[in-house]
Amino acid sequence: MFTAVRILPFLAVIAVVSIELSPAHFLYTGPFLTPAPALAALTMGPRGTAAVAVVTALASCTTATFNQAWGSQQVYANLSALLLVSLASLASSTARARRERELAHVRRIAQVSQDVVLRPVPEQLHGARAAGVYLAAEAGARIGGDLYEVLSTPYGIRVIVGDVRGKGLPAVRTTAAVLGAFREAAHYEAELADVMSRCEAALQREVSRAEQLVEAPGPHDRAEQFVTAVLAQVPAEPVVELVSRGHPPPLLLSGDEVRPLEASVPLPPLGLAEFLGATPPRAETYPFRPGERLLLYTDGVIEARDPARNFFELPAHLARLDHSPPQQLVEQLRASLLHHVRGSLEDDAAMVVVEREGCGTPARAAV
């Protein structure tokens, strides 16, 4: 479609010249040349638009000379209209080119900013391989209300996957706050539950800051500002430790078996600490042997619906996949998910896969 619009001005010039230089020159074709610069301005830059305007003017002058039409009112009216349209088209094309340059600059800045918030998952870690994928529901976005991070720490590999309530810039701000707290606390807090507490404190600070913004006046319901999250720790021993705050249970892939790692005591999401009760959160331990894989995901995956409103059956899709490396596994899941929803997600979706390779001693990260 874009290419077709580009060649329309030239087709108009060729058609008019062909008619005017033929026995059919008695047909009145002048008005067909006038829109050519305007059509060029839709897809071309200022130089292209100016070139079309010049070619159109030369064609108009050539046909007028060939038909000995100089001095007629129609010729001067056509040239006057062509001049006005050319000037307006040139101005429009110049403004459009400037906006496109500004938009490209903003996109480059946005891409850098998004890469800072959601960094790529390292493929190779000490004793494990990992991969992650993020699908934003908002067109043109690369981050939104879901978050993830995989770090090598003095306590082993630590992973967070979470889902922020809401969308848009407020969700991105909350994502940045929670991820920033995790990246700091994961290297210093020995207990996984304490890392989660630091993430919750960061969320509460972000909610308090949002309440004070001039752009968001009025009362805020703190009960509606929450984040579901799950933390995983893969130490040297063949186990995985989990702390889940209202998040879908991770799936353990062992051979052809897919098993959810359900928390024994359900806990509320981050931001709803008043519902925790007297018992403080603690990590729960599950076997995690070499060759097994752990899949952490957000509810945008399991709640994705096809046109018939059927949910995406994540365990069933996992059971059908081959034993590919983590990166290929998440790409296969991504393709299956997009095929299920016919390319249109209603909610953000994120997935992280960690595969244990061995039981060596994890490298101590620089702190």
DSSP β-bridge partners for residue 351: 133, 297
Long-range contacts of 54-61, Cβ-Cβ distance < 8 Å, separation of 24 or more: 55/10, 55/13, 56/9, 56/13, 56/82, 56/86, 57/82, 57/83, 57/86, 59/13, 59/16, 59/17, 59/33, 60/30, 60/33
Cβ(353)–Cβ(132) below 8 Å: yes
Mean pLDDT of 2-14: 67
**pLDDT confidence of residue 152:** 95
Res 217: pLDDT: 42
Task: Give yes or no for residue 116 having a pLDDT over 80.
Answer: no
Q: What pLDDT is stored for residue 361 in this prediction?
A: 39
Give the residue-averaged pLDDT of 79-97.
85
| Residue 132, pLDDT score | 94
Q: Which two tokens stand for residue 221?
A: 């319901």
Report angle CA 160, 165, 170 to the nearest 5 degrees: 95
Instruction: Quote the pLDDT of residue 156.
Output: 94
Lowest mean pLDDT among 6-10, 35-39, 149-153, 300-304: 6-10
**So what's the pLDDT on residue 188?**
95
Taking residues 66-92, what's their average pLDDT? Answer: 78
> pLDDT by residue (tens digit) across 188-247?
999 999 999 999 999 989 888 877 764 444 444 555 578 999 999 999 999 999 999 999
Give whichever of 17-26, 28-37, 262-271 has the largest mean pLDDT.
262-271
| Residue scoring higher pLDDT (155 or 225) | 155
* pLDDT at residue 130 greater than cutoff 60: yes
Q: What percent of the chain has pLDDT over 70?
A: 80
pLDDT at 21 (0 to 100): 66
Architecture of the domain whose range is 118-356: 4-Layer Sandwich (3.60)
Q: Which SS3 state, helix, strand or coil, does residue 291 take?
A: coil
Comparing 284 with 43, the larger pLDDT belongs to 284
Mean pLDDT estimate for the chain:
82
Residue in the block written with tokens 């110049």: 94
What is the band of 158 on the pLDDT scale with cuts at 50, 70, 90? very high
Rounded distance, CA 151 to CA 18, Å? 69
